[in-house]
């Protein structure tokens, strides 16, 4: 599991005193090669944290030797000083590892608008380098946690090679990714272009279809590093499938651990004229606070689903829309369907199916219910 499941990687997670309340808060993932191919996907938010801007630049050549991650501070909206801090972090790790600073990516997560305590972070980087281990994946996964209650790791092994990964993120999950950091590693012999293709397709279908609370972070980052240590060239389709599987596994873990959630909601849109339509409708339903409250209250309130569908520009006729909740078609052809009393919503997972009756495309968006615990947690996060 985690980032050290694949050969050729070492990792560490240490407590540097950045995060209030203690605990591990600096993670390091190192690719010992022989390859150093890498790809990345970043937030679509136009307000981007310093580490996002920096990591995007160093990834331009498709190569990375290491990734430093910290929790306890997002280093977003911190001005020129923030960028200097990211640069100093990368260079400290590079110096200790004996690699080029331009081959080290940096990821940060935590409160926006607060400078990082560099007097703690830099010694933390030193300690992480000293603690690197082929078994360090779990520690690294713990060190990136913020409001997460459990570390998230996953791995898939195929014909002689492995894809593994870790992720963090419990709030702010949203389209264009979440605050959400994920690092995936593989020992398959794959070049940067193939990594990029596999990662973009995988994130489009997994992390990008998680929408916990409609809020998009300034720091979202997903990285994929290949060491080639297995000495095996993976079949491209098989490799892409493995990357997607690990991403889907991690994405499901993010939703399961979303802030304050008591229910997981799978919004499946079928009968769409295009995949874009299906995603637009799914997101609109997944973001509807009233529906999320209704699911929390185990109330099969399909009217709120239709209200949300009606705000989209997708192709549909209002009097042909149908909605099922946990497989009971409570709305058929835009009007009252089966008896809502038949719907059992007592389980943790609730399936909402929307049939647009406009085509053959479909998509699933994953979200969670809106609870008083979410409000409490996010009323008290920074102060």
Residues carrying an active site annotation = 179
Nearest-angstrom CA–CA distance, 282 and 304 = 13
Size, binding site for a second copy by CB under 8 A? 70
* Residue 46 to residues 76, 132, 170, 172, 337, Cα–Cα distance (Å): 12, 35, 21, 15, 43
| Interacting residue with a second copy among 297, 342, 347, 348 (CB under 8 A) | 297
Which of residues 98 and 319 has its CB atom nearest to a second copy in the complex?
A: 319
Stretch that binds a second copy, among 9-17, 79-87, 90-98, 198-206 (CB under 8 A): 79-87
Which of residues 81 and 135 has its CB atom nearest to a second copy in the complex?
A: 81
186, β-bridge pairs: 163, 226
* Residue 197 to residues 2, 38, 179, Cα–Cα distance (Å): 21, 11, 22
Stretch that binds a second copy, among 46-54, 64-72, 85-93, 96-104 (CB under 8 A): 46-54
Instruction: By CB under 8 A, tell whether 215 contacts a second copy.
Output: yes
| 27 membership: H or E segment, kind and range | strand 26-31
Which of residues 229 and 254 has its CB atom nearest to a second copy in the complex?
A: 254
Nearest-angstrom CA–CA distance, 107 and 76 = 11
Give one DSSP letter per residue of 303-361, joined into a string.
HHHHHHHTTS-SS--GGG-EEEETTEEEEETTEE-S-GGG----SSEEEEEEE-SS-SE
| Interacting residue with a second copy among 1, 63, 99, 114 (CB under 8 A) | 114
Instruction: By CB under 8 A, tell whether 383 contacts a second copy.
Output: yes
* Contact (CB, 8 A) for 283 and 211: yes
What φ, ψ does residue 205 adopt, rounded to 5°? Answer: -95, -10
Which of residues 34 and 318 has its CB atom nearest to a second copy in the complex?
A: 318
**Binding-residue pattern over the window 313 to 352 for a second copy, x denoting contact by CB under 8 A:** ---x-xx-x--------xx-xxxx----------------
Min dist. Cβ of residue 370 to a second copy (A): 6
Stretch that binds a second copy, among 16-24, 93-101, 231-239, 374-382 (CB under 8 A): 374-382
User: What strands lie across the sheet with 322-325, from one edge to the other?
Assistant: 335-336, 328-332, 322-325, 349-355, 264-272, 361-368
| Interacting residue with a second copy among 4, 45, 227, 367 (CB under 8 A) | 45
Stretch that binds a second copy, among 90-98, 108-116, 264-272, 347-355 (CB under 8 A): 108-116
Instruction: By CB under 8 A, tell whether 112 contacts a second copy.
Output: yes
For helices 302-309 and 275-286, what crossing angle results, to 10°? 130
Instruction: By CB under 8 A, tell whether 1 contacts a second copy.
Output: no
For helices 79-97 and 118-130, what crossing angle results, to 10°? 20
Distance of CA 165 to the CA centre of its chain: 11
Per CB under 8 A, residues contacting a second copy are 44-48, 74, 76-79, 81-82, 111-115, 171-172, 176, 213-218, 287-290, 293-294, 296-299, 301-304, 306-312, 316, 318-319, 321, 330-331, 333-336, 370-372, 374-383
Q: Which residues are annotated as a binding site for substrate?
A: 146, 168, 179, 259, 378, 383
């Amino acid at each position: 599991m985690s980032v050290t499941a694949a050969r050729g990687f070492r990792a560490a997670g240490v407590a540097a005193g950045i995060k209030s309340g203690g605990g591990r808060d600096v993670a390091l993932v190192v690719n010992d090669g022989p390859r150093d191919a890498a790809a990345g996907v970043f937030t679509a938010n136009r307000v981007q944290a310093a580490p996002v801007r920096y990591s995007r630049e160093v990834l331009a050549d498709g190569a990375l030797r290491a990734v430093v991650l910290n929790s306890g501070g997002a280093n977003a909206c911190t001005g020129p000083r923030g960028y200097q801090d990211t640069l100093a972090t990368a260079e400290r790790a590079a110096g200790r590892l004996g690699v080029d600073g331009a081959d080290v990516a940096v990821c940060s997560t935590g409160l926006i608008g607060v400078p990082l305590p560099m007097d703690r972070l830099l010694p933390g980087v030193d300690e992480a380098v000293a603690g690197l281990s082929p078994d360090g994946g779990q520690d690294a996964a713990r060190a990136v946690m913020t409001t997460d209650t459990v570390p998230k790791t996953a791995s898939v092994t195929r014909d002689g090679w492995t894809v593994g990964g870790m992720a963090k993120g419990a709030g702010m999950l949203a389209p264009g990714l979440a605050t959400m950091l994920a690092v995936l590693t593989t020992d398959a012999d794959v070049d940067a272009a193939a990594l990029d293709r596999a990662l973009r397709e995988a994130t489009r279908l997994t992390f990008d279809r998680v929408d916990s609370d409609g809020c998009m972070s300034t720091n979202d980052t997903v990285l994929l590093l290949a060491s080639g240590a297995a000495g095996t060239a993976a079949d491209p389709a098989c490799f892409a499938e493995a990357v997607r599987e690990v991403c889907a596994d991690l994405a499901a873990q993010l939703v399961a651990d979303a802030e304050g959630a008591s229910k997981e909601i799978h919004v499946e849109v079928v009968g769409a004229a295009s995949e874009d339509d299906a995603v637009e409708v799914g997101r609109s339903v997944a973001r509807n606070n009233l529906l999320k409250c209704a699911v929390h209250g185990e109330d099969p309130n399909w009217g709120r689903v239709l209200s949300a569908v009606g705000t989209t520009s997708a192709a549909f006729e209002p009097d042909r829309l149908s909605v099922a909740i946990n497989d009971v078609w409570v709305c058929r052809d835009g009007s009252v369907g089966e008896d809502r009393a038949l719907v059992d919503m007592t389980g943790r997972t609730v399936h909402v199916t929307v049939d647009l009756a406009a085509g053959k495309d479909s998509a699933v968006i994953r979200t969670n219910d809106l609870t008083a615990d979410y409000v409490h947690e996010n009323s008290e996060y920074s102060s």
